[in-house]
């Protein structure tokens, strides 16, 4: 009898064990961002890698709860929406008129800072042009099939001052003998200096080439020209990034106008690795080396104090080893 009772108790225990609800999924206590702080330039797009989940069951849903300043005060400016310039469709080099690009540009409302709901990627948008620079901390809520938890002070966000341009190609000039496009000799990086200055004013881009004494080569006299292609090698000049207005050639510079209310400029890239690179030539007859000079530079422009590109930019390419004849 006792044996039967023992067996019955054992069977009941087994049945109760199997009837007990099993835990579903896993939500780790060790969730974090590798980029801490996430450093973002004011007015630019910056993103992070997703949240490190330590084996937590996917999908992982993430929600931004709160953003605070260094002194602990709540900061609403990072999570409210602002109107910014956007691309509505891809703009290509074949879109050569204002009407063609107008149909592909527009405005939309975006928050300066967002946490992607799937995976938790951090996203800073061009709407950050409206917020103050500085350091911020934020809290998130994370959930999956296992449950939900709040992580306070999960990471820091650092907004740095805006810069209205990026030099994408600098420090390169070569020489070549006239009447051939095959053999070139690269000069030292110190042979050319590219500087960019932004000033408040109309939407213009002014491109200068000067000798070591700051004497300008004259585009109006053919002393600076677009560099020719070489076989299958295509060499672009700034007019191909800005086909919307006629270029003005003066005694000191090429002067380009650019369209209003753009999210960035140039609007598209062209060819190869150096996708915003411009190729020019200073003929052998107008420089002290008596060789063709082939300077290259690349610049892209971004919003600075408004949610679109504004102002006059002066690009100066100084040839540090030659004089103008």
pLDDT at 1: 52
Task: For residue 242, give the 3-state DSSP assignment.
Answer: coil
Mean pLDDT of 232-248: 94
In this predicted structure, what is the pLDDT of residue 170?
Answer: 86
Sign of CA dihedral 106, 110, 116, 120: positive
User: Which band of pLDDT confidence, cut at 50, 70 and 90, is reported for residue 120?
Assistant: very high
Please list, in sequence order, all residues whose beta carbon lies within 8 angstroms of the beta carbon of residue 321, skipping any fewer than 6 positions away: 187, 191, 212, 289
Please state, for a pLDDT cut of 90, what percent of the chain lies above it: 87
Q: Give DSSP secondary structure letters for 99-143.
A: HHHHTTEEEEEE-SEEE-TBT--EEE-GGGGGS--EEEEEEEEEE
**pLDDT per residue as tens digits for the range 160-195:** 999 999 999 987 999 999 999 899 999 999 999 999
Predicted confidence at residue 230, as pLDDT, reads 81
pLDDT digits (tens, 9 = 90+) for 49-79: 999 999 999 999 999 999 999 889 999 999 9
Provide the pLDDT confidence category of residue 18 given band limits of 50, 70 and 90. Answer: low
Burial class (CB in 10 A: 0-12, 13-18, 19+), 37: middle
pLDDT score, position 72: 92
Read off the pLDDT of residues 122-152 as tens digits, 9 standing for 90 and up.
Answer: 999 999 999 999 999 999 999 999 999 999 9
| The pLDDT of residue 225 | 98
Distance of CA 11 to the CA centre of its chain: 66
Of 52-66, 184-198, 225-239, 309-323, the poorest mean pLDDT is in: 225-239
87-118 pLDDT per residue, tens: 999 999 999 999 999 999 999 999 999 999 99
Predicted local confidence at residue 231, as pLDDT: 76
List the domain boundaries for the chain: 24-160, 165-319
Distance CA 262, CA 205 (A): 14
The residues, any chain, with a CB within 8 Å of residue 214's CB and separated by 6 or more, are 318
Instruction: Give residue 42's Cα distance to chain centre.
Output: 11
Helix (H) or strand (E) segment spanning residue 244 = none
Topology adopted by domain 24-160: Immunoglobulin-like (2.60.40)
Phi, psi of 113 (to 5 degrees): -135, 135
Is pLDDT above 70 for 13? no
Residue with tokens 């956007």: 86
pLDDT at 267: 97
- Structure confidence at residue 233 as a pLDDT band (50, 70, 90): confident
**pLDDT beyond 90 at 30:** yes
Average pLDDT, the chain: 93
Q: Is the peptide bond before 59 cis (omega within 30 degrees of 0)?
A: yes
């Amino acid at each position: 009898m006792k044996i039967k009772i023992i067996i019955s108790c054992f069977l009941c225990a087994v049945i109760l064990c199997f009837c007990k609800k099993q835990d579903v999924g896993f939500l780790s206590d060790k969730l974090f961002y590798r980029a801490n702080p996430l450093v973002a330039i004011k007015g630019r797009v910056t993103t992070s890698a997703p949240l490190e989940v330590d084996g937590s069951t996917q999908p992982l849903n993430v929600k931004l709860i709160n953003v605070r300043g260094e002194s602990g005060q709540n900061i609403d400016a990072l999570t409210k929406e602002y109107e910014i310039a956007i691309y509505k469709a891809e703009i290509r080099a074949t879109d050569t008129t204002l009407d063609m690009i107008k149909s592909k540009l527009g405005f939309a409302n975006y928050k300066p800072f967002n946490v992607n709901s799937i995976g938790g990627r951090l996203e800073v948008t061009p709407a950050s042009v409206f917020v103050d620079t500085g350091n911020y901390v934020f809290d998130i809520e994370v959930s999956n099939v296992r449950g939900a938890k709040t992580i306070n002070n999960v990471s820091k966000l650092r907004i740095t001052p805006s810069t209205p341009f990026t030099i994408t190609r600098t420090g390169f000039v070569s020489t070549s003998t006239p009447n051939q496009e095959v053999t070139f000799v690269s000069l030292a990086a110190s042979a050319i200096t590219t500087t960019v200055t932004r000033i408040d004013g109309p939407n213009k881009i002014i491109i200068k080439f000067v000798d070591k004494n700051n004497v300008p080569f004259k585009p109006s006299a053919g002393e600076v020209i677009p560099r020719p292609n070489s076989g299958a090698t295509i060499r672009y000049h700034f007019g191909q990034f800005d086909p919307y207005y006629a270029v003005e050639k003066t005694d000191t510079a090429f002067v380009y106008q650019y369209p209003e209310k753009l999210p960035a400029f140039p609007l598209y890239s062209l060819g190869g690795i150096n996708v915003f690179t411009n190729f020019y030539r200073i003929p052998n007859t107008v420089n002290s080396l008596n060789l063709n000079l082939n300077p290259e530079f690349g610049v892209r422009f971004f919003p600075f104090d408004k949610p679109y590109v504004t102002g006059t930019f002066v690009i100066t390419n100084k040839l540090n080893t030659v004089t103008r004849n």
